[in-house]
Amino acid sequence: MSVRTERLPEGIEFVAEEEGVREYGLANGLKLLLVENRVAPVVTFLVLYRVGSRNEAVGHTGATHLLEHMLFKGTPKFNKRAGTQIAATLQRVGADFNATTWYDRTNYFETVPSDALELAVRLEADRMRNSFIADEDRRSEMTVVRNELERGQNEPALVLDEAVYAAAFREHPYHHPTIGWRADVENVPTARLKEFYDTFYQPNNATAVVVGDFERGTTLELVNRYFGAIPRSPSPIPEVYTDEPRQQGERRVVVRRAGELPLVQVAFRTPAALGHTNVLSNAELASRASSPPAENDIYPLAVLSAALAGGVTSRLYQALVESELAVSVDARADQFRDPGLFNVYATASPGVEPGRVEEVVHEELRRAGGDLGEEEVEKAKRQIAAHVAYERDGTHNVAMQVSEAEAVADWRFYNSYARGVARVTAEDVRRVAAAYFGEDNRTVGHFIPKPAAGDGASEG
């Protein structure tokens, strides 16, 4: 059936189709993406909300994440008293389900046997607007989330990462971790969560994604039946506008606490996923995503991270791990909605000063801007191409990738990512290394393990 003659339920319109992704729009502003994939008799249904910790400020940091937990606490239709608790209902059909919150978005997803798609659609539509958000639930869930935070605080690498982001972003909300500051998690009022829910959990702030084995006509009808009835938000979705000013000088943070090995993190401010260096409104972002810029430094930065730390043959592995200064090294180029960081992470070998590891990192990054060659760049590009293919195995993985693209740009970013990487030249990579790896643009973190007295470690 051709696109033109497709019969659509009243209230849904076809918007675009490219490379297997079909976009539809509901009258209430919900965006719907369909990706058919009939490898196995399963389907993944995912709802993405354009709200994350970037929408928070001091006093309610962590609210987005706490709210995500509250959305499992029930609605008048799905609740424990009625024997239809959300998790139990999904568990019963064998669903692989969860929800996650990150800087730019919150998503809810379930992979179910194909015949349970309707349940997933009905449940997600229901909790978009009908969740209880009760004070009693908030109290018991707060301690659950506080324990999640405590588990994170047990990990030295996470503690250092939080300290580095908090130093690199002073004004922009990437400053605070998605889990929130402890006191905010403990004290945020239920009314504030409810306000957050009413502000952002609206069809015109969401994208529904369906991936897998489904019948298109039936699915359009299902989504329209359950989501179509929800009205558009009464007021416009609030925008984030806090730009992080240009960094003018190196920032350094040190964390000293019990641990085993020293850690070093070196971070540089870099552009957003669509290559821009300021905060964009939702409309500006949508417009930029539908006609992306020809030049986007995000792609050479991704190639650079693979060339620097993608495997045994990479430059940093050779300089740090082969030389036995470090036991591991990694690099990651953020691809966020707003400008993020390029991070290098290293775990020093026992007895090696973190300063020594840091020196080698600086030296390698400086060198990369001058002599990173064609062969290394081509190898890094092939590694990324293979990883893009691996990450698209299975309906859940495809839905997650599409949703991440929607959160930072739109689904076209998912489709065009491999091509963006393929276009990168060695000269591009050297240029971005030289442009971003400057001392004034840098934040350095050290984790120094404090010897802990009294650790009880004896064989039982």
Partner 1 sequence: MTSEFQQEPEVAGSSGGAGFSSRVVREELATGAVLLALENRATPTVSLRGSLRAGSYFEPRDRPGLARVTAEMLKRGTRGQSKLELAGALESVGADIEFEADAFAAQISARSLSQDFPLLVSMLAEMLREPSFPADELEKLKQQTVAAVREQQSDTRWRAYERLTQVVFDKANPFYAHAGERLIESINSITVEDVRGFYEKFYGGRSLILSVVGCVRAGEAVGLLREALADFGGPENIDVTIADPLPQEGERRELVVVRDKANVDVLLGSAAPLRRDAADYYAALLANRALGESTLSSRLGLQVRDVEGLTYGIASRFRAPTLAAGPWYIAVSVNPGNVERAIGSALNVLREYVREGIRPDELEDEKSSATGAFKVSLSTNAGLAAALWNAEFYRLGLDYVERYPEHVRSVTVEEVNAAIRKYFRPDHLTIVVAGDIEAAHAEHPPVA
* Residue list 137-156, contact with partner 1 (CB under 8 A): 139-151, 153-154, 156
77 is a site residue for partner 1 (CB under 8 A): no
Report 303-322 residues binding partner 1 (CB under 8 A): 310-314, 321-322
Q: Which of residues 320-359 bind partner 1 (CB under 8 A)?
A: 321-322, 324, 327-328, 347, 349-350
User: Alpha carbon 377 to chain centroid distance?
Assistant: 26
Q: Does 236 bind partner 1 (CB under 8 A)?
A: no
Distance in angstroms (rounded) separating the CA atoms of residues 293 and 305: 22
Least separation in angstroms between residue 161's CB and partner 1 is 16
Least distance (Å) between residue 442 CB and partner 1: 26
> Considering CB under 8 A, how many residues would be counted as binding partner 1?
84
Nearest CB to partner 1, comparing residues 223 and 399: 399
Q: Is 370 in the site for partner 1 (CB under 8 A)?
A: no
In the shown chain, the binding pattern of residues 19 to 58 toward partner 1, with x for contact by CB under 8 A and - for none, equals ------------------xxxxxx----------------
Report if residue 384 touches partner 1, rule: CB under 8 A: yes
How far is the C-alpha of 195 from the C-alpha of 211, rounded, in Å?
Answer: 32
* C-alpha neighbours within 13 Å on the C-beta side of residue 299: 23
Q: Which is nearer to partner 1, 172 or 392 (CB)?
A: 392
Helix (H, G, I), strand (E, B) or coil at 137: helix
| Shorter beta-carbon distance to partner 1: residue 147 or 218 | 147
In the numeric block, which tokens belong to residue 432? 């971005």
**Closest CA relative to residue 374, chosen from 306, 430, 314:** 430
- CB of residue 139 vs partner 1: minimum separation in angstroms? 7
- The yes or no reply on residue 393 touching partner 1 (CB under 8 A) is yes
* Selected range binding partner 1 among 26-34, 80-88, 196-204, 358-366, rule: CB under 8 A: 80-88
110, two tokens: 């379930």
When binding is defined by CB under 8 A, the residue of 332, 366, 379, 423 that contacts partner 1 is 379
Calculated CA dihedral for residues 267, 273, 274, 278, nearest 10 degrees: -50
Among 167, 261, 434, 435, binds partner 1 (CB under 8 A): 261
Residue 206 pairs in a beta bridge with 49
Helices then strands, counting H and E runs in the chain, come out as 16, 12
CB-facing half-sphere around the CA of 183: CA atoms within 13 A: 3
Query: Measured from the CB atom, is 92 or 170 closer to partner 1?
Result: 92
Q: Is 225 helix (H, G, I), strand (E, B) or coil?
A: helix
Which residue, 101 or 443, is less far from partner 1 as judged by CB?
Answer: 101
Q: What are phi and psi of 332, to 5 degrees?
A: -145, 130
Phi/psi at 52 (nearest 5 deg)?
Answer: -150, -165
Phi, psi for 57 (deg, rounded to 5): -140, 170
Residue 87 interacting with partner 1 (CB under 8 A): yes
For the record, the structure tokens of 62 come out as 């962590």
- What span, in angstroms and rounded, lies between the C-alpha atoms of 362 and 344? 10
Residues 168-207 binding partner 1 (CB under 8 A) are: none
> Counting contacts by CB under 8 A, is residue 258 touching partner 1?
yes
Furthest C-alpha separation in the chain: 74
Considering the rule CB under 8 A, would residue 215 count as an interface residue with partner 1?
no
Beta bridge partners of 8: none
Query: Rounded to the nearest whole angstrom, what is the least distance from the CB of residue 142 to partner 1 in the complex?
Result: 7
Q: Looking at beta carbons only, is 168 or 352 nearer to partner 1? A: 352
